[in-house]
Amino acid sequence: MPVLSAYFAALHRDLLLVMRRKTEVLTVLFFVIVTTLLPLGIGPEPDLLRKIAPGAMWIAALLATLLGLQRLFAADYADGTLEQMVLSPKPLTILVAGKITAHWLVCGLPLVLLAPVIGLQFDLSSDAIGILMLTLLIGTPLLSLLGAIGAALTLGARGSALLVSLLVLPLYIPTLIFGAGAVESYIAGLGAMGHFSLLGALLILAAAFAPWATTAALRISLE
């Protein structure tokens, strides 16, 4: 399908750029360092660490995704390739969706895969780690999708790095509450189904609307 091939073209291009530049990998390192500093700063109290683990890891994940967001469209805007994407005969939304997917694969998926290792530092049980991974798996694409709207809106503005954070972090609140809440309520023995359903609903909603909103914001920013 021609539309799908445009999606994969954008995805492939962004992944190739990440492979060439390699600095994007630092996002993952940031996540590891922040989550390693916390147990060191708080001290070896397993009960306390277990308690703060879900919240701490989710906040670290939010900040790590935010780091990659500033570059999501800014580099393409600066060298004019974004202009070429807007002028592509294929829908811009599809290309934007490809770019968001690339952002998630680079900044979101590694966090999910690293969660078990980090979870051990907080003395989480293997069940709780499984739940945490699942919440991150549903939640990190949501962060990329919402973040893309913010990144597109602040494109070309001065001090856009700070603006993105201020704009996007409040939007992350529901994800943070349900993501961290799922693990906490599982540990408390209440089950996490409710939280998962809400996270899933948010993801579907964002996947349906965020690429369109991002496209509209990009067209305004490029004027």
Residues binding another protein (CB under 8 A): 2, 5-6, 9-10, 12-13, 16-17, 20-21, 79-81, 83-91, 95, 222-223
Q: Minimum distance from CB of 6 to another protein (Å)? A: 5
Q: Minimum distance from CB of 19 to another protein (Å)? A: 9
- Contact between 140 and 113 under an 8 Å Cβ cutoff? The reply is no
Q: Closer to another protein at the Cβ: 137 or 222? A: 222
Q: Minimum distance from CB of 98 to another protein (Å)? A: 8
Q: Closer to another protein at the Cβ: 14 or 184? A: 14
Q: Minimum distance from CB of 72 to another protein (Å)? A: 14
The answer for residues whose C-beta is within 8 angstroms of residue 85's C-beta and 6 or more apart is 10, 76, 92, 95
Cα–Cα distance between 46 and 107 in angstroms, integer? 29
Cα–Cα distance between 75 and 24 in angstroms, integer? 13
Q: Closer to another protein at the Cβ: 75 or 169? A: 75
Q: Closer to another protein at the Cβ: 72 or 198? A: 72
Q: Minimum distance from CB of 93 to another protein (Å)? A: 12
Q: Closer to another protein at the Cβ: 1 or 188? A: 1
Q: Closer to another protein at the Cβ: 21 or 29? A: 21
Cα–Cα distance between 170 and 167 in angstroms, integer? 7
Q: Minimum distance from CB of 165 to another protein (Å)? A: 26
Structure token digits, residue 49: 């660490």
29-41 per-residue burial string, b: 16 or more CB within 10 A, e: under 16:
ebbbebbeebbee
- Contact between 86 and 222 under an 8 Å Cβ cutoff? The reply is yes
- Contact between 61 and 32 under an 8 Å Cβ cutoff? The reply is no
